[in-house]
Chains A and B, each alone.
Chain A
């Protein structure tokens, strides 16, 4: 059995040898390479794309409900990146799954991806996230393919065996448009805390269990049933086309639900909000713009970038959501790391009076150090003070 000291020393040797490990943090935000493992249609118009992580890649650290941008090569050209909801849970370290309606050239190209094709993934993005520890009671309102972020959340809850009380109202035009229906019913069978109701706009509902089916649209009565008429303790997550979300928000506000308990995610493939061109523009796009369409491309690019991320409920400091990842200290650290001087900045004090007095660690500063401190030549001899750590 190793003693603690030996273990610590071993750890130090290992880290010292791995000089790249210091910058591991920086690798998190980079593009990741995946290969297509499977590309299937789960309904006549819904695609499920399963990606396999490259062995050398660090897994994507995301929260259930977030989305990522993906890009790939199609007919020898690099397609611009587009955002899609992740449907796999964060617990799956090796695979990522995306799902989308096949509609238009881009998703048609996406559906033509073959096994082992390379796909680049950027992200994750978005604040439409379930807090498993706090959102103990939640109502999910999904419209059409807006079900996808909820699939990730429900798979995650199922994997954790969490006891969150979830009601899912899933609105579709016809029963044949329902995606993930078998999986949802399977999770419900295992977890009595989940109640799924498929709300079918038109046509028959004979393929669905009676207890899980309703016709028409998501109404106030269905919401009353899903919440047990108790709107105060629930958090509401809405994802779907803009019209659907607007209707749902209006319904909830009418029921007296506070806006900070409603989380929304714009979700429509025809909306430029969800179809954004990110940093992954291939070089040939820039080359083409240089030839003749510089001005037009700039206008389109800037307007797209301005609308890159889908609107979600604005973050408020009073909200309990912990997913505001950029704090003052984070920004400070990022700035400090970037400003560490590569060239010497050793300063020799010109006179004894100007020599900075060494302050032991008992002292505190009133404001964060704004810049990287210069190096001082210390008057000899010097001692340091061992004080209790924080």
Chain B
């Protein structure tokens, strides 16, 4: 039997679904475990919460700070992925992101929550992040945001918590979907891919996930999390080369990988770099299954697809 549960977390809607025998007590305990992990993760790493570990870390930039084991893991992963993507993913981008306009939570009900303003700080390269055995330091006058790296990390973490306890599962964390096992018919999961329209409605196709393996499908794009500031339009994917919202023909990139963390970061990088160079980027990073939805200057849509498990309608 398949069970699911939905809540608002991490700034978007999070849905968890598991397939298991008809054991409601066990399923309920698993859901409790996962939600507790998610809410604690948000409390610890949301940049919109002034009391989070991340906010305290940013506030004390310039000094060597004791960090939690999870924070260290995420920073190490961020460091490695920033190097892998040649700086297209850069956690130091937060000041530019806030300066562009993403300076408050976009979740209804929390827009007026007080938070730190880092918009006048500097953006530096990833080599300025120093990580020690139980400490880390970023330069004075800088600030970091985990972005998709945090959400991807959490997706992988949740999967590792439950994958040996259930027959199958899919976990949707605002664009990052992690699947494992089988659905309640004994087949592999199918993950639909949203069509790149401003309305955000309709699907363009789906991904056939492999049986009994953990598999992540991450989508990143510029059609969500956007707005206007001082008469200028912004979206949340900042090009670290210009420190402005990326000007790109890739409106949504969907990446499949074993790790949600890696898939999420690479999807954002593919959008930022644009279709011309994205193919080379994906090839260099060993991504075999991907879909790029393009919209050119005239508004004409097209797709670049690689891999056999992605099916277009």
Contacts and interface: CB of A to CB of B under 8 A. Distances in A.
Interface of A: 2, 4-5, 7-9, 11-16, 18, 21-26, 58-59, 61, 63, 89-91, 93, 133, 159-162, 317, 320, 322-330, 332-334, 336-337, 340-346, 358-369, 372-378, 380-390
A375 B175 contact: no
A326 B113 CA distance: 9
12 contacts: A5-B257, A8-B261, A15-B73, A22-B37, A61-B56, A359-B6, A368-B8, A373-B5, A380-B2, A384-B189, A384-B192, A389-B219
A374 B5 contact: yes
Given A346-B28, A361-B172, A382-B17, A4 B80 contact: yes
Given A15-B73, A325-B50, A361-B15, A342 B107 contact: no
B76 A326 contact: no
A386 B40 contact: no
B3 A384 contact: no
B45 to A, nearest CB: 10
Contacts of A11: 73-74, 76-77, 153
A327 B113 contact: yes
B69 A15 contact: yes
A327 B114 CA distance: 6
A356 B213 CA distance: 29
A69 B160 CA distance: 40
Contact of B60 (A91, A320, A364): A91
Contacts of A384: 15, 17, 170, 172, 177, 189, 191-192
A382 B192 contact: no
Interface residues of B, number: 120
A160 B200 CA distance: 46
Contacts of A63: 59
Contact of A378 (B4, B49, B120, B121): B4
B28 A389 contact: no
Interface string B205-227: 01100000000011111111100
Contacts, number: 293
Given A58-B66, A362-B201, 18 more contacts: A4-B80, A8-B156, A25-B53, A93-B135, A317-B114, A325-B50, A327-B48, A329-B49, A329-B113, A333-B42, A337-B36, A364-B13, A368-B107, A373-B5, A376-B5, A380-B183, A380-B184, A385-B192
B100 to A, nearest CB: 14
Nearest to B203: A385
A344 B51 CA distance: 31
B32 A341 contact: yes
Given A333-B42, A384-B17, A344 B259 contact: no
A355 to B, nearest CB: 11
Contacts of B301: none
B3 A367 contact: no
B227 to A, nearest CB: 12
B219 A12 contact: no
Contacts of B118: 133
Contact of A362 (B32, B185, B194, B259): B194
